[in-house]
Structure 1
Amino acid sequence: MAITLETATPGSLDEVVEAVALWQHDGGGVQVHPGDLGWNWSFGADRLAQDVRFWRRDGEIVAAGMVDDESRLIRMSLSEAVGEDEEFAQRLHDDLVADAGVLPGGVSSVEARYGPAFRDLLRRTGWTDDEPWAPLVLDLGEPVPEHGLRIEIAGPDDVEERAAVQRAAFPTSTFSPERWHAMAAAAPYRRARCLLGYDERGNAVATTTVWSAGPGRPGLIEPLGVHHEHRGHGHGVSITRAAAVALRELGSSMATVCTPAANTGGVAAYAAAGFERLPDATDFRRPD
């Protein structure tokens, strides 16, 4: 069995996106999704490629991860084909800790929400629980309740407003029209939509981007926010339901989201919109 680790190039990103899309399945854990790659593509293909690692087994991509150099975290996504493969899990582990592997000196923490063999190996080798995250899911087999906002699909003519609401929802956001155009030109966005929500006075009060992985697979909400001047009116619940409607129209089986467990307001909004909270998932921190 030949296993190779590669750093992505701009030219290989589309192949990685399609592989990651195929690994999304109901009940498989909220692991790295094409939408995560698509959102980070807004910083440019060159930068994203520098952060993406992927593993081939006998020529086929079977695992991929996004590296955050600053925190030395890698966020992983695995194929079902290697979920129970102990030999592959050992190779992943070795590449994560080796100086010449994923990062010089190895990674400090791993987000691994799927892969029984890999998760079990991390625990057996002393990796400990890190920050808890709250995964939430909504089955899209039934119609989504009404949401009460006027929803527009944001296109090239709306990017100034789309970016402005994003920055008003997240104080540290650097989202811009230029970043939107980079994101919208990338492969994952072919199965995505940006939504703007307007209140009865015509104010743009909330925004989100939804990402399909293809018909019959879980879709992702990333990101979602309410303008800081328009909070406290139920717009968080409304834009969440609008996001679910959009994913249902795109053929997604479920709407998924994962937010820090400490984000009690966000968790409450998703729950109020009908999402089911799954057991918290934690990252794994490397033993000292």
Structure 2
Amino acid sequence: MRREEYAGPVALRAMQSLASRVFPQAGWRHSGDLAWAAASAVSAPDATPTAVWSTGDTTVAWGWLESPEELTIQVDPAYPDLAGEVLAWAQRATDAARLSVTIGAHETHLTSALAAHGFVQGNDKPFFACLSRPLTDLPPLYTLPEGYRIRPQRDAADVIERAAVHRAVWNSPHITAERHAAMREVWPYRSEFDLVAFSPEGKAVAYCQGWYDEVSGVGLFEPVGTAAEHRRRGLSRAVGAALLHAFAAAGGGLATVSPRGDAGYLIPKLVYESLGFQTMSRTRTYTKAFRRSGTPAGN
């Protein structure tokens, strides 16, 4: 067994290779979700260390401190004892007063290690619903309002438009055209799954970015959005249905998405359910407070 440590998600492909092998049976982060998280991260790499465990050329576990207080973890169920090693590494690698770990409720091979290391499940945070649907018996391609059209990104002008609508939807000023263009170079991005809805005036007003992992045959929706002034016109559902058909045409067998599942923000989940997605799991967050010098545990 070998462990390698990095400043930032340098070994992203190694991390993704584990997701390709075991998702969604283990883990709730698709390889495309990891690509999106790495490409959209705002923290400096030395503030977001990673560690990867491998046997031979096969990745069997990894941990990523996406922030000093937030650990993302994935462990091959065939190597459950590595969960404790990942947690021990993360606790050494952060100087935060507390550390949170979010896992899928179905990842029972991680819960005993979390308890053994003093992590406590919380109920006070929003959670994500893990939805999926087979890529058979798909919904129809919906008729758009007059003048609207859906197509994949094609050129630099589309990149600028796509980044702009993302900023408008999510108030994310760090998603610039340059950052979005760089993300397009990260596996498993393919432009035919990055669908954009354009208004009659030719402005990008909605999008559904898809990530298709040809290793697992699983496609992911992430991210998805519609500009406020163009909502309630069926655009989110229409672009989502178009992406399902694109995944199926590529040979995919399953589509997944992880919207908020709590009552605070249910509309996206309802849209996905209208496209045939069903809940397969949900996330649970575990937190541990540390006694750091000058900081009492629990503060």
TM-score by length of 1: 0.82
Q: What's the CA shift for 1:195?
A: 0.9
Name the amino acid aligned to 2:122.
D
Q: What's the CA shift for 1:252?
A: 2.6
Q: Could you tell me which residue of structure 1 aligns to residue 133 of structure 2?
A: 138
Identity, % of aligned positions: 23
Identify which of 38, 44, 69 aligns with 2:35: 38
Identify which of 246, 266, 269 aligns with 1:267: 269
Q: Could you tell me which residue of structure 1 aligns to residue 284 of structure 2?
A: 282
String of CA shifts for 1:132-152, please: whole Å, max 9, x gaps. 222221211333322334321
Please tell me whether the aligned partners of residues 128 and 284 of structure 1 are also in contact (alpha carbons under 8 angstroms): yes
Name the amino acid aligned to 1:13.
L
Please tell me whether the aligned partners of residues 207 and 226 of structure 2 are also in contact (alpha carbons under 8 angstroms): yes
String of CA shifts for 1:20-50, please: whole Å, max 9, x gaps. 322324xx15622221222234358995686
Name the amino acid aligned to 1:144.
P
Q: Which moved more, 1:160-169 or 1:135-144?
A: 135-144
Q: Structure 1 runs of 4+ off > 6 angstroms?
A: none
Q: Which runs of 5+ in 2 are unaligned?
A: 290-297
Measure the CA separation in 2 of the matches of 1:156 and 1:7.
Answer: 34
Measure the CA separation in 2 of the matches of 1:45 and 1:23.
Answer: 28
Q: What's the CA shift for 1:110?
A: 0.5
Name the amino acid aligned to 2:103.
A
Q: What's the CA shift for 1:52?
A: 5.3
- When Rg is computed on C-alpha atoms for both structures, the one with the higher figure is 2
Identify which of 90, 94, 103 aligns with 1:112: 103
**CA distance 1:191–1:62, change in 2 (3 Å):** farther
Whether 1:19 and 2:18 are equivalent positions in the alignment is yes
Whether 1:94 and 2:88 are equivalent positions in the alignment is yes
Q: Could you tell me which residue of structure 1 aligns to residue 292 of structure 2?
A: none
Secondary structure at 1:189 match in 2: coil
Q: Could you tell me which residue of structure 2 aligns to residue 152 of structure 1?
A: 151
String of CA shifts for 1:148-206, please: whole Å, max 9, x gaps. 34321103331111112212221234322101211112233258731111356655331
Secondary structure at 2:164 match in 1: helix
Secondary structure at 2:229 match in 1: helix
**CA distance 1:117–1:222, change in 2 (3 Å):** same
Measure the CA separation in 1 of the matches of 2:136 and 2:3.
Answer: 39
**CA distance 1:250–1:153, change in 2 (3 Å):** same
TM-score by length of 2: 0.79
Name the amino acid aligned to 2:34.
L
Q: What's the CA shift for 1:69?
A: 1.7
Secondary structure at 2:143 match in 1: coil
Measure the CA separation in 1 of the matches of 2:34 and 2:44.
Answer: 11
Q: What's the CA shift for 1:106?
A: 7.7
| Pairs within 5 Å for 1:50-69 | 51=48, 53-59=50-56, 60-69=58-67
Q: Could you tell me which residue of structure 1 aligns to residue 113 of structure 2?
A: 121
Name the amino acid aligned to 2:64.
M
Task: Give the alignment's Cα RMSD to 1 decimal.
Answer: 3.0
Whether 1:242 and 2:242 are equivalent positions in the alignment is yes
**CA distance 1:242–1:65, change in 2 (3 Å):** farther
Whether 1:206 and 2:206 are equivalent positions in the alignment is yes
Secondary structure at 2:188 match in 1: helix
Please tell me whether the aligned partners of residues 43 and 182 of structure 1 are also in contact (alpha carbons under 8 angstroms): no
Please tell me whether the aligned partners of residues 166 and 172 of structure 2 are also in contact (alpha carbons under 8 angstroms): no
Name the amino acid aligned to 1:15.
A
Higher normalized helix content (fraction of residues):
1
Please tell me whether the aligned partners of residues 15 and 52 of structure 2 are also in contact (alpha carbons under 8 angstroms): no
Name the amino acid aligned to 1:231.
R
Measure the CA separation in 1 of the matches of 2:173 and 2:243.
Answer: 20
| Pairs within 5 Å for 1:217-256 | 217-256=217-256
Measure the CA separation in 2 of the matches of 1:57 and 1:106.
Answer: 30
